[in-house]
Amino acid sequence: MKGYLVLGHGGKEVVFSGELIGAELKEPISGEVVFNTSMSGYQEILTDPSYAGQIITFTSAHIGNTGVNAEDMESKKIHARGMIISQYCETPIHYQTNATLDDFLKKNNVTGLHGVDTRALTLYLRERGVVPGFITNEKSFADKRVPKFYPENHDWIMDVTTKEPYWLKATQPKYKVIAYDYGVKAQLLRELQARGCDVWVVPADYPAEKVLKAFKDEKMNGVFLSNGPGDPSVATYAVKNVKEILGKMPLFGVCMGHQILALALGAKTYKLKYGHRGGNQPVKNLVSSSVEISSHNHGYAVDPSTLPATAKTSHVNLNDECCEGISVPSMNAFSVQYHPESSPGPHDSSYLFDQFINNFSK
């Protein structure tokens, strides 16, 4: 069936056409339209909670080639509102495949659009910046039924965080880590488990006093701040908790966790024009002078000029000089804007998990 992606920008409508895929479209689907430049890993991207509220445009030409499988899930379901692709592969070939992408979308009640000129769409988003849009069919488009968009200040973190704390056990436990779930990817937790960490995953608004009590009573070794969706400045509860924890436990933040740490230090964040989303971002480690090719998914960034004297920029993006990492030695805390667990993406930055564990003894 024919479908459309309708973008709203400055009171003008821009329309891209294609064919509908996945769940039956009963009403228009709205979301912030973004693009991801990863060449692989569409299943991990779709199930990343950081994409809550967004319609993802995949710039890779062919999507669906490897189907989907149980191993590559980053959460229990698709969190993206929809997906836009150029060419859909109906017959995937991979030894792990147990369903097609179309079946996967239907199971998760998510609609996509294929046959779209994603090159033109991506160029539009790069020039104008990310914009609200909606996926619709011929009838609803003709009826001009425009759905209500979520406001900029919607708290997506509380939509995706765990409702109750839970434990993840390591095969050979050596340490105990508390992980704040702002929309955590499964591979981040697996990386900690693989290094001997039992992980106690807690909701995004879990009180700092309970974390500090667990640190004392359960002999916890550190706190991990996860990735997550939306505007970090909306999550005032997270900033408050991290302020109370800072300097009392070793701390490591990733993506949203990086931004929350910066806000807790008194710095400011800002929205990027079209964000960083993909597995090919060059980042320079200012301590070692080495360059990492890294995996990204964020629409906001930290303003390094607002960091206090106790914090320093540790990593920068070589494309746009965006702040990619901060270090606060006096508080035994550090964070990065990108994803060291990859999934999908390169593994250049996995050393950061080891750095976190080494900080347990400081």
Domain that holds residue 236: 157-361
Q: How many domains, in total, are found in the chain?
A: 2
Instruction: Note whether 187 and 319 are same-domain residues.
Output: yes
Q: Which of 44, 74, 324, 341 is catalytic?
A: 341
pLDDT in tens, 275-307: 999 999 999 999 999 999 999 999 999 999 999
Instruction: Note whether 74 and 111 are same-domain residues.
Output: yes
pLDDT in tens, 127-146: 999 888 989 886 555 445 55
* Prediction pTM value: 0.95
- Please check whether residue 151 lies inside any domain of the structure: no
Instruction: Note whether 244 and 335 are same-domain residues.
Output: yes
Instruction: Note whether 343 and 251 are same-domain residues.
Output: yes
Per the DSSP assignment, residues forming a β-bridge with 271 are: 300
Q: Which of 79, 114, 296, 339 is catalytic?
A: 339
- Please check whether residue 148 lies inside any domain of the structure: no
- Please check whether residue 282 lies inside any domain of the structure: yes
Q: How far apart are CA 193 and CA 164, in angstroms?
A: 20
Contact 84, 34 (CB under 8 A): no
Instruction: Note whether 279 and 333 are same-domain residues.
Output: yes
Instruction: Note whether 56 and 174 are same-domain residues.
Output: no
DSSP code string of 273-296: EEEEEEEEEEEEETTT--EEEEEE
What pLDDT is recorded for position 16?
Answer: 94
CATH number at residue 188: 3.40.50.880
Instruction: Note whether 248 and 317 are same-domain residues.
Output: yes
Q: Which of 197, 255, 322, 323 is catalytic?
A: 255
Q: What does the angle CA 66 – CA 72 – CA 77 come to, to the nearest 5 degrees?
A: 105
Instruction: Note whether 99 and 221 are same-domain residues.
Output: no
What pLDDT is recorded for position 143?
Answer: 47
Instruction: Note whether 88 and 173 are same-domain residues.
Output: no
CA-closest candidate to residue 256, choices 238, 243, 272: 238
Which segments of the chain have a pLDDT < 70? 9-12, 138-151
339 catalytic? Reply is: yes
Instruction: Note whether 268 and 354 are same-domain residues.
Output: yes
What is the three-class DSSP state of 198? Answer: strand
Instruction: Note whether 243 and 275 are same-domain residues.
Output: yes
